[in-house]
Structure 1
Amino acid sequence: MKRDSRKENRKVDGSSSAVDSTAQEPTAQTAFASYAAPLVNEAIAHANAVREDPSPEALHKLRVSLRRLRSLWWAFAPLLEKGENTRQRALYKYLATAAGKTRDWDIVIQLLTQDDSGVRSGMRDLAPKLEEARGNALATSRETLSNADVKHLLREALTSASKDINTTHERVPLRKFASKRVAASERSLMKRAKRARHARRSNYAAFHDVRKAGKKLRYLLEFFQPVLSGSHKRTLKRLKQVQKRFGTLNDIVASEMLLHDNAALLAGSGDSEAVLHWLHKERKRRMRSAAGLLRKL
């Protein structure tokens, strides 16, 4: 009887705490700033670091933080005024692109200096031109980011979005909201993966869409994992695999395009044709690898 009584008391206590936790469950509106503010601070810190640190890592961190902000704004889009949300996401894309112009040269240099297929041995004449192009791009990136006043823009975007979200009358439980947005992102990924599976092998845009959709879903799972039901470790592991394989493909395609677009800069170098030929072969190989992974999604 005492044991049963203790069980009953535990049931009552448990139900009471469940009611309390439900009553105290945060809403998507109140939680927004707790997600957005740290990301904004992080992006500002990385933007400041780029002014002093010319390394590839500094630019990469800035791009990632801006991509994560763009994904978060996408997640909260149903609670934001459509036009304002579109403008703010475009802002994050613009800033990431500014940093990306230098990052693209970093990728070219890294690819060609780490290659063991014979191209690396012929880099002696080409390397100084690539480094010069990278230096010019860095100066432009820094000037663009400085003129944009990143700190002011991001703080203003956060204030505006927070105000917009918290003026809505209907409150949505965070758990329910997060589940719906993750599900929407997952459907988007599956739709793009299906399209890429049926696309021509030369249709890189379809593969690139899969990469972007996978990255967005990964960021959302990382944001909302604490409030989502069930474990998403396997999904995150698979998404990281997609991101890695499709990312290496993107590096090759972007590098090939960058060198083609700057053919005049590289004119006179006996190695440029060999480099482009190697990149073309690598693109085909990595497209096959990405296509193989697509079939497992």
Structure 2
Amino acid sequence: MKRASRKIDKQAADSTPAGAECSAESAFTSYAAPLVDEAIEHAHAVSEDTSPEALHKLRISLRRLRSLWWAFEPLLDKGGNTRQRELYKYLATAAGKTRDWDILIELVAQDERVAHEMAPKLEEARGSALATSRETLSNADVKHLLQDALASASQELNTADERVPLQKFVDRRVAASERSLNKRIKRASRAKRPNYTALHDVRKAGKKVRYLLEFFEPVLSGSHKRVLKRLKQIQKRFGTLNDIVASEMLLHGNMGLLAGSGDIDAVLLWLRKERKRRMRAAAGLLRKL
């Protein structure tokens, strides 16, 4: 199918969020189109804006798209849905590689002496990563990739033989995401020692639940405000842990590139201590949930 024939018309893209009385199939575009437009806008901004915020916004918008496609997974072709979610992950990773350098620079900046010594090479590495991120996103043609994905999924859902009530559908999908989160919380909290992989799995599952609640809260049965508040606590504490771990891994993976730029061993020692401290704090929060 030609690209032009698969575009969603302006009226569909500007549709307002669906009510609970709609079918899940007919409501999909009202949820997906604004997210696609937002991701395209942020991808365009990255081509002109070198700030950390531009990349951060693009990565979040792609993660939200990935979560929405997960939510509608039961109604979409399984293979196509998996490939689309992997594409969103790939694009988010492309943006994230530069964002990881931004986070490391922010952490190192807490020590003025070390920051002064390392800043030139950190900024150089960040610039190289940004160039790669931009090239990857440009070559991917994000705008048309996302528009095609929206058109394809919308057509598939709009031509489906069966219809599922929206409220019933989103209640089931949010419940499934919450079960997955609770399973990961139990696994992480039962570990004898704080386990980063298990904690990271909690963070990812929590993000998915949070995004789904933000998407569907107006049509969900019952109130989910307490759950959303708890998730924000998890994300904040687990997010700081992830920043430390990502920075530690980035330094380890670029020792040669940063050689001679300062006392890297001292930075790694500080990051290791921070990782252990923040892992204990994250595990402690889980025990309170």
TM-score normalised according to structure 2 size: 0.91
Deviates more, 1:139-148 or 1:164-173: 164-173
SS in 2 for 1:267: coil
Report the equivalent of 2:58. Answer: 62
Letter of the 2:28 partner, please give it.
Answer: F
Report the equivalent of 1:43. Answer: 39
Report the equivalent of 2:130. Answer: 138
Q: Deviations over 1:189-208 (max 9, x none)?
A: 00011111123535311111
Which of 242, 250, 265 is matched with 2:234 structurally?
242
- Equivalent-residue separation in structure 2 for 1:86 and 1:200 (angstroms): 34
Report the equivalent of 1:166. Answer: 158
Aligned pairs (5 A) from 1:1-297 = 25-113=21-109, 115=110, 119-201=111-193, 203-297=195-289
Structure label with greater radius of gyration:
1
- Equivalent-residue separation in structure 1 for 2:194 and 2:216 (angstroms): 36
* Percent of residue pairs bearing the same amino acid type: 77
What do you get for the CA RMSD once the two structures are aligned?
A: 1.3
Describe the shift of the 1:191–1:206 C-alpha distance in structure 2 as closer, same or farther (beyond 3 A).
same
Letter of the 1:183 partner, please give it.
Answer: A
Q: Residues 201 and 287 of structure 1 are in contact (CA less than 8 Å); yes or no, is this contact kept in structure 2?
A: no
Deviates more, 1:194-203 or 1:82-91: 194-203
- Residue 121 of structure 1 and its aligned partner are, at CA, apart by 2.4
Describe the shift of the 1:243–1:85 C-alpha distance in structure 2 as closer, same or farther (beyond 3 A).
same
Letter of the 1:40 partner, please give it.
Answer: V
Q: Deviations over 1:47-104 (max 9, x none)?
A: 0000010000000000000000000000000000000000000010000000000000
Describe the shift of the 1:212–1:194 C-alpha distance in structure 2 as closer, same or farther (beyond 3 A).
same
- Equivalent-residue separation in structure 2 for 1:277 and 1:227 (angstroms): 49
- Residue 169 of structure 1 and its aligned partner are, at CA, apart by 1.2
Q: Residues 123 and 271 of structure 1 are in contact (CA less than 8 Å); yes or no, is this contact kept in structure 2?
A: no
Describe the shift of the 1:79–1:197 C-alpha distance in structure 2 as closer, same or farther (beyond 3 A).
same
- Equivalent-residue separation in structure 2 for 1:104 and 1:264 (angstroms): 18
**Runs of at least 5 residues in structure 2 that lack an aligned partner in the other structure:** 1-18
- Residue 120 of structure 1 and its aligned partner are, at CA, apart by 3.4
Letter of the 2:167 partner, please give it.
Answer: R
Runs of 4+ deviating beyond 4 Å: none
Q: Residues 194 and 283 of structure 2 are in contact (CA less than 8 Å); yes or no, is this contact kept in structure 1?
A: no
- Residue 271 of structure 1 and its aligned partner are, at CA, apart by 1.5
Letter of the 1:178 partner, please give it.
Answer: V
- Equivalent-residue separation in structure 1 for 2:112 and 2:28 (angstroms): 48
TM-score normalised according to structure 1 size: 0.89
Describe the shift of the 1:24–1:41 C-alpha distance in structure 2 as closer, same or farther (beyond 3 A).
closer
Report the equivalent of 2:9. Answer: none
Deviates more, 1:210-219 or 1:23-32: 23-32
Describe the shift of the 1:24–1:248 C-alpha distance in structure 2 as closer, same or farther (beyond 3 A).
closer
Give the length in aligned residue pairs. 271
